[in-house]
Structure 1
Amino acid sequence: MIESFWFPVRLSLVVAMIATIGTFVLAVFLSYQFNKKAFPGKTVVETLFVLPLVLPPSVLGFLLLIVFGMNSPIGRGIENVFGQSIMFTQFAAVLAAAVVAFPLMYQSAKAGFSSIDLDIEAAARVDGASEWMVFTKINIPLAWRSLMTGVILSFTRALGEFGATLMFAGNIPGKTQTISTAIYVALESGDTELAWKYVFISIALSFLFLIVINRVNRN
């Protein structure tokens, strides 16, 4: 009983962590590149990046089903390679969480890189620094507060993801059930005491991470 109670909590933390790592790498790379370059359609592409932030979770879940479902070329390709579909798996939960968390990480990283004085980068290049050194030794350290804020916001958003996860990963106890879906099932079954326990854990975790954001921004 104890094991089954804590499984959604552990899975939610693991899913949020993996999704955050993935979105961090992708968002930092894209935001850095887009901050340096201008090209036709850039505004449209960036709008697509942040679109999951405003779309209903049910729409995101539906799109994930269409893109990675059994009837799509991507879905069939994945099944041919790995022998099974990613739908209703823990990887599906990670993918759903990453999709909804990505806009927060991208916007934070973009704000951080945009705030850096270009003269500092130019001076480093004059002194012989490579683009990789400029990125790792100047841009990352100077934008670290924005990046940390993005990481925490992305993590908490991924931790609380519900709609897209329910549609794409399902709610399989002991396999894909997260805190959010566990709360939903508990309420549906009339077990408000169990729902309150998960609600309290979710609030406590989110509160803790938001405190970290405040401390980062204050220092």
Structure 2
Amino acid sequence: MTADVLTPEVWGAIRLSLWVAFWSTLIGLPLALGVAHLLVRKRFWGRPILDALVHVPLVLPPVVTGYLLLVLFGRRGVFGDMLAWLDITLAFRPAGAVLAAGIMAFPLMVRALRIALEAVDTGLEEAARTLGAGRWAIWRTITLPMMVPGILAAAMLGFAKAMGEFGATITFVGNTPLETQTLPSAIYALLQVPGQEGAVVVLVVISIILSVGALAASELLASWWRRRNA
């Protein structure tokens, strides 16, 4: 039964989901760290607006987010038209799946990083500053190491969210097997076919294994870091 389910199309969906989750997390995490730093440590006009914009994907229906991406990055969209001059197409392409999943995961990463940054003891930073340490040295040697567990948590949340993203992705890039079909999209497609309940169960189990595996890896890395710095 399992061998019949794991067709080339399904393997392609699994590989694409992992690829999308990896790149959306890798690209989004540094951006989320920068935004979290702005929201926690800086006071500027428009800060509430930035905070609200960051969390918009959490409150909008994912399909609406996908539609807005089509409007902005589609072939006739504002940014899509500009990207076309560079021969870059995002709509209905795997790279577009990275963008859609990354946008949906971004608020979760920012939230986890904000909590981690707020927990950093600013007294240590002030002490280092009085001893003559520069801003970058303080960030690199004090702030960032103390945030590592939070960074790992943010990466895990972002990866898991990207792995499971469905609404925005299917709206923006479609559901073409071996091209833009992710694991959630493959499950959705099988649900539309009578008699495929067993195949759906297998893919759901695979999704759970991948998500739990990412969580376990994050916990192991965080535990190793705590022992290393104990």
The TM-score range, normalised by the shorter chain, is: over 0.9
Contact 2:10 2:183 in 1 (8 A): no
Contact 2:57 2:65 in 1 (8 A): yes
**2:151 matched residue in structure 1:** 147
Structure 1: distance between partners of 2:42 and 2:102: 25
1:138 aligns with one of 131, 137, 142: 142
**2:63 matched residue in structure 1:** 58
1:41 aligns with one of 23, 41, 46: 46
Q: Give how far 1:208 is off.
A: 2.6
Aligned AA (1:30): V
Q: Give how far 1:35 is off.
A: 1.8
Aligned AA (1:92): G
1:15 aligns with one of 2, 17, 20: 20
Q: 1:73-152 alignment to 2 at 5 Å? A: 73-82=78-87, 85-152=89-156
Q: Any idea what SS the aligned residue of 1:92 has?
A: helix
| CA deviation profile, 1:3-28 (whole Å, cap 9, x unmatched) | 33211111100100000011101001
* Sequence identity (%): 35
**1:200 matched residue in structure 2:** 205
Structure 2: distance between partners of 1:7 and 1:71: 29
| CA deviation profile, 1:46-70 (whole Å, cap 9, x unmatched) | 1210221222111111111111122
Aligned AA (2:79): I
Contact 2:71 2:78 in 1 (8 A): no
Q: Give how far 1:213 is off.
A: 5.1
Which runs of 5 or more structure 2 residues have no equivalent in the other structure?
Answer: 1-5
Aligned AA (2:64): V
CA RMSD of aligned residues (A): 1.8
Matched, 1:176 2:172: no
Q: Give how far 1:185 is off.
A: 0.6
Which runs of 5 or more structure 1 residues have no equivalent in the other structure?
Answer: none
Structure 1: distance between partners of 2:223 and 2:153: 8
Q: Give how far 1:131 is off.
A: 1.4
1:165 aligns with one of 166, 169, 182: 169
TM-aligned CA distance change 1:62 to 1:167, over 3 Å: same
TM-aligned CA distance change 1:217 to 1:104, over 3 Å: farther
